[in-house]
Structure 1
């Protein structure tokens, strides 16, 4: 799973908020689908530029693009994917996002909400927000705050 960090968590939250407020969403469009909307937040590219990069390669949807990802190809789509991976993502995270299938995220949902549809805006928003919550919890768990006793000891040093 993705490495939790503030940049990625913020991008996920902004993506979900924009989708919830009506940002362009079309699952069949590489720049405005689940991954495309997140790519807009993690890169400086517009939905049109993302879509154009994907079509230039001609390898199909995000799942296929990620299967064929080559970090040294220099192809625009591979550079875009590399930018996204540099934010702490793994290719599997993006494949799961495109189909809303990561079981660690789905298990956090109420049982009646675990069967999400990858082409439905509300389900995408729920998935992304739940993912951001999970990453935030993982990030906070890594932070060790000093105890009161430790703080008192430091005051005397």
Structure 2
């Protein structure tokens, strides 16, 4: 799973907010799909730019991730490298595109999880909300000093300006 860090968590949460508020979403569009929406936030490329870069090679996000080569010079590979700099892994991106990370799915009640669809805006929002929470918990765990028995950890991140 991704290296938990405040910037990544904030980017996922901002992507959730944009999708909730009607940002373009189309699973078959490389710049407006699950990964495409997060990539917009992490790279500041537009959905059109992301799609244009992706169309220089074949395949959806998962195929492009399999073909990823950080030294190829292909714009899509350069963009993926930029995304990975935020603490994500290729597996994180593949899971996001298919809504398939077992750690995230385990937090969704089975009856809801069984209805999840990789190309549903609402399901992407739910998945990303849980993912942000998992990363937030991981970040707090790794960065909070040990508390004495009985004290509660507060899930707060530093404010990013």
Q: Partners of 1:142 and 1:8 in 2: how far apart?
A: 15
* Alignment RMSD: 1.2
Q: Which string of whole-angstrom CA distances, capped at 9 and with x for unpartnered residues, describes residues 18-47 of structure 1?
A: 101110000000000000000000002000
Matched, 1:24 2:36: no
Q: Which string of whole-angstrom CA distances, capped at 9 and with x for unpartnered residues, describes residues 88-136 of structure 1?
A: 0000100000010001000011222213101110000000010000000
Q: Which string of whole-angstrom CA distances, capped at 9 and with x for unpartnered residues, describes residues 26-73 of structure 1?
A: 00000000000000000020000000000012x210000000000110
Residue 94 of structure 1: aligned partner = 93
Q: Assess, with a 3 A threshold, how the Cα gap between structure 1 residues 114 and 146 changes in structure 2: closer, same or farther.
A: closer
Structure whose alpha-carbon radius of gyration is higher = 1
| Structure 1 residue 143 displacement after superposition | 2.0
SS at match of 1:130: helix
Q: Partners of 2:123 and 2:40 in 1: how far apart?
A: 19
Trace 1:28-67 onto structure 2 (pairs within 5 A). Answer: 28-57=28-57, 59-67=58-66
TM-score (norm 2): 0.88
Q: Assess, with a 3 A threshold, how the Cα gap between structure 1 residues 146 and 24 changes in structure 2: closer, same or farther.
A: same
The number of equivalent residue pairs is 147
Trace 1:6-155 onto structure 2 (pairs within 5 A). Answer: 6-57=6-57, 59-115=58-114, 116-145=116-145
Q: Assess, with a 3 A threshold, how the Cα gap between structure 1 residues 72 and 22 changes in structure 2: closer, same or farther.
A: same
Residue 151 of structure 1: aligned partner = none
Q: Partners of 1:64 and 1:47 in 2: how far apart?
A: 18
Larger helix percent: 1
> Which runs of no fewer than 5 residues in structure 1 stay unpaired?
149-157
SS at match of 1:97: helix
| Structure 1 residue 147 displacement after superposition | 6.1
SS at match of 2:143: coil
| Structure 1 residue 144 displacement after superposition | 3.1
